[in-house]
Structures are given as C-alpha cells and as structure tokens.
Amino acid sequence: MTERFTGSFTQQEPIPEAGIEAALAVLRHGRLHRYNTAPGEVAETALLEEEFAAYLGAKYCLALASGGAAMACALRALQVRPGEPVLSNAFTLAPVPGAIASIGAVPVLVEVTEDLTIDLAHLEAMAGATGSKVLLLSHMRGHVCDMDALTALCDRLGVRVIEDCAHTMGAKWKGVPSGRHGAIGCYSTQTYKHMNSGEGGFLVTDDAELAARAVLLSGSYMLYARHRAAPPPEVFEPLKLEVPNVSSRMDNLRAAILRPQIGMLEDRRARWRALYQGLEAGLAGAPGVKLIPRPQHEDYMGSSFQFLLPGWEPERVAAFVAGAAARGVELKWFGAAEPAGFTSRYAHWQYANPAPLPQTDRVLAGLIDMRLPLTFTVEDVARIARILTEEAAAAARAEALGSVAAPVAD
C-alpha cells in the first residue's frame, strides 16, 4: 500500500491555558479597547508591548492590528510620501508590496538569489537607479541574508531599513534578534506565525521620534502617556498635531492571548528546528531536489520549508505537486501561472507595475514551499520526506520516458 500522510498542514497548537484564562478575564470585564481601563489598571496591550520590547532588547514597541498594519505604520513613521520609490524583495508575500502601495508609494522590486534572500548587487543598482532611501526588507519564509553586509551597504547608500520579520520572530543573525538591525522591525501574530492571535502585529524601534510618530499614527489620540514601551510625553508634544490618526491598534483581548506566548518562543524555535532538520535529512537524496543552505550565523525559525526543483519543466512540477497532494502532502508552488490561496509572486502584483526580473523568475519557477506546524512530529516529517522523495523519483522516471509524471500508484 502506498504511504500517505493524514495530518493537517493548517492545524496550529492550542492557545496556552494562561492565555485562555487571561482572555476570559478580559471578556468578563469587557474592557477590550486598549485605552479603556479601570482606575489603577494597566492595559494588557501596554503590558504586552513592554514585555515584547524586553524580549528583543528594544527601547520601544507598539502593538498593532496586523503585520501589514505594522509595515504601513513604519513607512508612514519614516515619512515616506505618495509617489516615492520604496525598495523591497521581489520574493515575498503580497502584504509587503501591499503596505507600500497602501500609502501611495511605489514598490521597487529587487532580485532574489537561490538562497532565497535579497540580491545585494541588484539592491545597490536599483537604489542608484531610483534614488530610493527606504528598503522594506522581507525575511521571506525565514531566510535571513547577510545582515552585516546589508546594513553596511544601506548605510553607505543612505537607505533606511524596515525589517519585515513576519517569518523570523525569534530568529537571530550572529546573536542579534531579527528586526533589530534596521530603523524599525515589524512582526506578525497572524495564526500561521510564531505567536498566534489570529491577527496582530508589532513595530519595534530604538528611535524616539519614529516610535512617537508610530504611536500617534496607530490612533492613540492624546492618550499616548498610557504606553509603557514608548518615549516620554515631551517627544510627542511637537508631533501630536502634525501626525494623522490612522487607527490600527491592537485590542486587549489579543494582547491577553499573546503575552504568555513570548516566553514560549525559545522552546518553539528548538522544536521547529527539529522538524526542519528532520525534513532536511529526509530529502537530502531526493532526485532533482535542491535544498536551501542555511548560513552558520543564522539562528532560524523553521516554521516552513522550501526547496528548489531546478530545470524542471512546469508540467513536471505541476505533476509532482499534484502527486504529493494525492498522498496528503500540501505543497505551494511559487512558479504557478495563477496565484492560489496565500501564494502569489511578483508578476501577479499588477498594481506595482513590476519590471521583469529574470533571476527571480528562474528561482521561483522551481520553488516549492511547505508549512511545518508544531502539531507535526519528527515521525510525521520523516513520512512526508519519504513521500516527496518517491514522488520526485516518479517525476524523474516519467521524464526519462518522455511523459508527464504521475502520482505513485497503489
């Protein structure tokens, strides 16, 4: 009988009991809005910001409604204007260029390498060609580039960096937490990320003016003094009548759910690493499969797994994906002609008027992506690896015979 996988690629772990109890307490008293507090009470959201800032070693933190809201807030805090070019990876998810477009700025997309990180040579060329002074850097699918080289380049070019850490919360480069290399770090707490509140996000910075602008943008009204991970009131004074209110606050219910999860990030990173490395070992000999090397300086969060099928024709890739799906393994293919679910590529983002990027096209043509939820076990990923290896072998046999690969038969 052909081996199949029956687990769910979208089933997350339950919210920790401490988060459930804290959420019930918020529901019982009804003060969900972050500024609706009883006398002497500190809002869950303010406490969450303080604790997340401490976890990252950041001076300031702001909790927001989503990771996309955090990126848009960061761009506005840097005073990016409509029509202004903003650099970003071509390989990312749609909310990243969407954040740029949401404020009327123009995404300038940069090539990706086979390591799935931003191409620094092309970044320098596009910065020079467009005059852009802001980079929204996406650590897409948890792959972190050489951050020393990137920050040195951006410092030389006068480019300020916003880090999109939706896939790298808890990751590090040479011991420095992801999101702490640029002017601002942005994070997501959407269900499939490293802390789960359904939707939500963070913005962190050490720059007092940027933090004050972000708090005002989030919709603090004149209640900014209630923040505990924010600059003192005097920083807000010259800004409070200048900065618009673009309401995007997090509420106390989601903050209550998230607070206990901060202390779980280190354990989660170790558990994801075990799953990732198990799958990596299982696919090491799969025919036609190229694994993505992880730099020694990168302490990654392995919550998803990517590999390349270099040189495969689209029909062969499509058959491989279909064969895996027939055996219960859900794969995403970034080279597909049409976007599907959460997966799209730069050519689909017509609002960005993207120029062709031949290097990125070659990489994405054979790029396969897969979630690794913590509800999986090491035995699960070993089974998944066996299935994918068998399907890759079937695809190779079919190619040798001159026909499209078919799923392995019972």
Q: Please indicate, yes or no, whether residues 161 and 75 belong to a single structural domain of this protein.
A: yes
Is residue 363's pLDDT more than 50? yes
Which of 206, 229, 262 is where one domain is finished? 262
Is residue 402's pLDDT more than 90? no
- How much is the pTM? 0.95
What is the reported pLDDT for 35? Answer: 98
Is there a contact between 193 and 205 (Cβ–Cβ < 8 Å)? Answer: no
Q: Please indicate, yes or no, whether residues 112 and 178 belong to a single structural domain of this protein.
A: yes
Dihedral angle over CA of 345, 349, 352, 357, nearest 10 = 30
Q: Please indicate, yes or no, whether residues 144 and 219 belong to a single structural domain of this protein.
A: yes
What is the reported pLDDT for 45? Answer: 98
- pLDDT of 180-198, one tens digit each? 999 999 999 999 999 999 9
Q: Please indicate, yes or no, whether residues 281 and 174 belong to a single structural domain of this protein.
A: no
Is residue 311's pLDDT more than 70? yes
Q: Please indicate, yes or no, whether residues 269 and 255 belong to a single structural domain of this protein.
A: no
Edge-to-edge strands of the sheet including 201-205? 60-64, 201-205, 184-188, 160-164, 134-138, 85-89, 106-110
- pLDDT of 219-240, one tens digit each? 999 999 999 999 999 999 999 9
In a domain, 4, yes or no: no
∠374-26-56 over CA atoms, to 5°? 50
Is residue 130's pLDDT more than 70? yes
In a domain, 104, yes or no: yes
Q: What is the DSSP letter of 226?
A: G
Is residue 254's pLDDT more than 70? yes
What is the reported pLDDT for 409? Answer: 45
Mean pLDDT of the chain: 96
Is residue 175's pLDDT more than 50? yes
In a domain, 134, yes or no: yes
Domain that holds residue 119: 17-262
Which of 213, 234, 262 is where one domain is finished? 262
Average pLDDT for residues 39-51, to the nearest whole number? 97
d(CA 396, CA 404): 9
Q: Please indicate, yes or no, whether residues 173 and 32 belong to a single structural domain of this protein.
A: yes
Q: Please indicate, yes or no, whether residues 239 and 273 belong to a single structural domain of this protein.
A: no
3 state SS of 249: strand
65 residue type, one letter: A
What is the reported pLDDT for 1? Answer: 56
Both tokens assigned to 196 = 């789960």
Q: Please indicate, yes or no, whether residues 36 and 132 belong to a single structural domain of this protein.
A: yes
What is the reported pLDDT for 399? Answer: 74
Average pLDDT for residues 240-262, to the nearest whole number? 98
Q: How confident is the model at residue 403 (pLDDT cuts 50, 70, 90)?
A: low
Q: What percent of the chain has pLDDT over 70?
A: 98
What is the reported pLDDT for 325? Answer: 97
Question: Where does residue 114 rank: exposed (0-12), middle (13-18), buried (19+ CB within 10 A)?
Answer: middle
3 state SS of 370: strand
What is the reported pLDDT for 398? Answer: 81
Dihedral angle over CA of 219, 223, 228, 232, nearest 10 = 110
What is the reported pLDDT for 50? Answer: 98
In a domain, 38, yes or no: yes
Is residue 270's pLDDT more than 90? yes
Structure-model confidence comparison of residues 1 and 57, the more confident one: 57
Task: Count each helix (H run) and each strand (E run) in the chain, helices first.
Answer: 13, 14
Both tokens assigned to 238 = 């010259």
What is the reported pLDDT for 28? Answer: 98
What is the reported pLDDT for 255? Answer: 98
For 338, other C-beta atoms within 10 Å of its C-beta total 7
Residue among 28, 109, 63 at smallest CA distance from 259: 63
Structure-model confidence comparison of residues 72 and 397, the more confident one: 72
Q: Please indicate, yes or no, whether residues 116 and 208 belong to a single structural domain of this protein.
A: yes
Residue 334: CATH number of its domain: 3.90.1150.10
For 254, phi and psi rounded to 5 degrees?
-65, -35
In a domain, 89, yes or no: yes
Average pLDDT for residues 209-221, to the nearest whole number? 98
In a domain, 149, yes or no: yes
∠249-250-256 over CA atoms, to 5°? 155
What is the reported pLDDT for 323? Answer: 96
Q: Please indicate, yes or no, whether residues 94 and 35 belong to a single structural domain of this protein.
A: yes
In a domain, 111, yes or no: yes
In a domain, 8, yes or no: no
d(CA 283, CA 303): 17
Measuring CA to CA, how many Å separate 250 from each of 51, 86, 203, 376?
A: 15, 26, 11, 30
Q: Please indicate, yes or no, whether residues 251 and 294 belong to a single structural domain of this protein.
A: no
Q: Please indicate, yes or no, whether residues 34 and 146 belong to a single structural domain of this protein.
A: yes
Count of structural domains within the chain: 2
Is there a contact between 22 and 256 (Cβ–Cβ < 8 Å)? Answer: yes
Please give the helix or strand (H or E) that residue 299 lies within, else none.
Answer: strand 298-299
Average pLDDT for residues 138-146, to the nearest whole number? 98
Q: How confident is the model at residue 408 (pLDDT cuts 50, 70, 90)?
A: low
Long-range contacts of 212-215 (CB under 8 A, 24+ apart): 212/236, 212/239, 213/76, 213/77, 213/79, 213/239, 213/243, 214/62, 214/73, 214/74, 214/76, 214/77, 214/184, 215/62
Residue 150: CATH number of its domain: 3.40.640.10
Is residue 30's pLDDT more than 90? yes
Is residue 410's pLDDT more than 50? no
Both tokens assigned to 128 = 């020079």
Which of 262, 282, 307 is where one domain is finished? 262
